[in-house]
Structure 1
Amino acid sequence: MKKTVLITGASRGIGRETAKILAANNFNVAINYYKSEEEAEKLYCQLLDMKCDVIKVQGDVRNRVQVDNMINIIYRRFGNIDILVNNAGVAQQKLFTDISEDDWNLMFDVNIKGIFNCCQSVLPKMINSKKGKIINISSIWGITGSSCEVHYSASKAAVIGFTKALAKEVGPSNIQVNCVAPGIIETDMNSHLDASAMEELKSNTPLGVVGSARDIAEVVLFLASNKANFITGQVISPNGGFVI
């Protein structure tokens, strides 16, 4: 029986590549998006062309009512959600002294409250069926911290703590909860970096390259597969050796 995966923030970047690689590996795919309707529609059509069973669902992960509605739509279509990939996130570079309360609240509302909402919405059914996988996307900066990204780093560190604690709590229900903490990845989130900044990051990476969204999607695919059934509470950081 085909498994169903919900990917939040799936219309672009890592989320989009994750949707494509899971579709290619015979998963039913639920594409969540908030504002990027055009990009979500393009991805939806791509997955249909791949003969994937796919649905796209609009919803703001910060809003519990919208999250519950989204989850219920997916249940009605596929009957279950076997894998939740909490990918939706925002980033911002600012001096700490310039971060406003609104900046801080947005970062935590999307990056950690969104995960809280989605996990709480899917877990009752996972616990009842004694199976499921949750994969949270953090960041290397959640491990090391980054100058001029205090609020982003703090929110992504919270994702790591959330993952480890929840894994212990739901492990007895045969649910695996893991975290992927990407290094420097060539996505829209890093599009503000100019060529010289990217070259410097490459030179500081032992492998000499920055990562691609596909690199991260491959890790998510592994964690979503039966090959990772004995892995839980872990943080995997594909970063080219940037941090060891």
Structure 2
Amino acid sequence: MDQEQVDIKTPEFVSLQFQSAGLGSRTAAFIIDQLILMTINILIILGLFLFLYDLDRLFFMTEFMSFPIAITIIILFILNWGYFFVLEYFSGGKTLGKRIIGIRVIQENGHSITILSSFIRNLLRIIDSLPANYLIGILMIFFHAKNKRVGDLVAGTIVVHERKAKKKRKVSALEREIEIRGLTKKDLVVEEWAFRALGPKEWNLVKTYCNRILQLPLAGREQLTNEMADILFPKIGIEKDGKTNEEVENTLFILYLLLQEEWEFEL
């Protein structure tokens, strides 16, 4: 049950297919994450012991040592819970362990995980970890048709395998054009909230545009470029006014590169 195919129909009526991540891959990712957290926890606790030792030796303030201990406990709690919450939201549904194994968390509708969903699914790790060693979570993942634990059910998320599309041996006309223009993903800065407003519908739109634009005559290119800019630029907070047609094209090409990294999978 490690790789069940999941068909997702997005709100934009785009059909997506994913391979759900089963117990084996999710456990491997979790173990990696726990090893990372364990290492950080040990370093923090060692730092606390060294601090308390120096404090007691220099100032004999034993009665005040409960304060740094309490602060450390709070830090450890925030670290161990916030690690999953923060990384899954800000890293496209991938903790360090998930990134290494090649899996990610997404919404059931195929969109990137939202901040609320990330909060809920990680808050409910408390239930999934009961009665010990994540027994409830393990049983849920193993028996659920889409390999979901309690947190996934409540948050409306699913963990899927992610593999980037293999690069073709022959460079496409689009890739060649982007290279000639010297465009990279770093040439366009899009706010995180704005970028997350772009889903598979926008990706298919940009991909179709970029693959067709070079085949059109100049007049047709300008019209199609302006239409695309009118649709997409307001969603990411970019002004079209004052830009030349070539600058608008370049912006759309860079947007293609950004969305390609987010949405183009080999399934």
Q: What TM-score comes out, normalization by structure 1 length?
A: 0.22
* Rg comparison, structure with higher value: 2
Higher strand share: 1
Higher helix share: 2
Q: What TM-score comes out, normalization by structure 2 length?
A: 0.21
